[in-house]
Homo-oligomer: A and B are copies of this chain.
């Protein structure tokens, strides 16, 4: 990954995020600790922009998302609710139809994490609240510090969570516990998050967590990016399809993707007692 190739993204600055790409790992940090990293309007625009730039440009092989300050995120910044277009005087049904479009757009923001060809790891410290849970649910894996907690805050402010928590969370932890969190708005602390499967590992400190998660990310970055891409696609597909369909999808996938090159490289590397050296994915240039 030459410095030049990442320049366009690396040189830019964002209101809500700090982005670093090194050793084929993109590290995206929420960078408004003084606002408890609340998800303001800029957040919703910048996140998909950054993720897509990394993924489409093949700028990294794995993404790590972490945060700064006491809490991962306080969730939706309330300004988002009040800053929509002026629809005063408009007929109610049409205003409502527009609200639907807004929710779909918000959802699409986190959809970019699902659609990225590369895995997304989230490292959570402190509170991961409201929209933060929707965010976390859309990542491939979750890790946290021992002081972390998750909270479906929406129920505490009189609304139904609508940016992804409900479709995604029951795939990540037991249904009965999801419902308790959803109806009571109570906090799920690190230990319980680990034992129920929501997070993969709990670390003592933010530093140890970043070290640990970046070590996992390095493992992933050392694997064949095409094989990792295939694994993610197949897991995403399997989540929403029958076992029969999932099996067939993989069989078709392999017709294009199962090429001898990466496997040969892995065997040669082993024989030569060195690490294999896999090519990056190709940038998704505008082919048409």
Interface of A toward B, CB cutoff 8 Å: 41, 44-45, 62, 80-81, 84-85, 87, 90-107, 111, 114, 117, 119, 140-142, 154-162, 164, 166-168, 170-180, 182-186, 195-200, 216, 219-220, 223-224, 226-232, 234-235, 238-259, 261-267, 276, 278-288
Chain A binding site: helix, strand, loop or mixed by DSSP?
helix
* Cβ A261 vs Cβ B92 within 8 A: yes
Copies of this chain per assembly = 6
Most buried by B among A62, A173, A267, A282: A282
- Nearest-CB distance from A169 to chain B (Å)? 9
13 contacts between A and B (CB under 8 A): A41-B288, A62-B183, A91-B262, A92-B259, A93-B259, A96-B257, A97-B282, A98-B284, A103-B251, A140-B179, A168-B246, A172-B175, A240-B242
* Cβ A219 vs Cβ B140 within 8 A: no
* Cβ B183 vs Cβ A259 within 8 A: no
User: From A225, which residue of chain B is reached at the shortest CB distance?
Assistant: B94
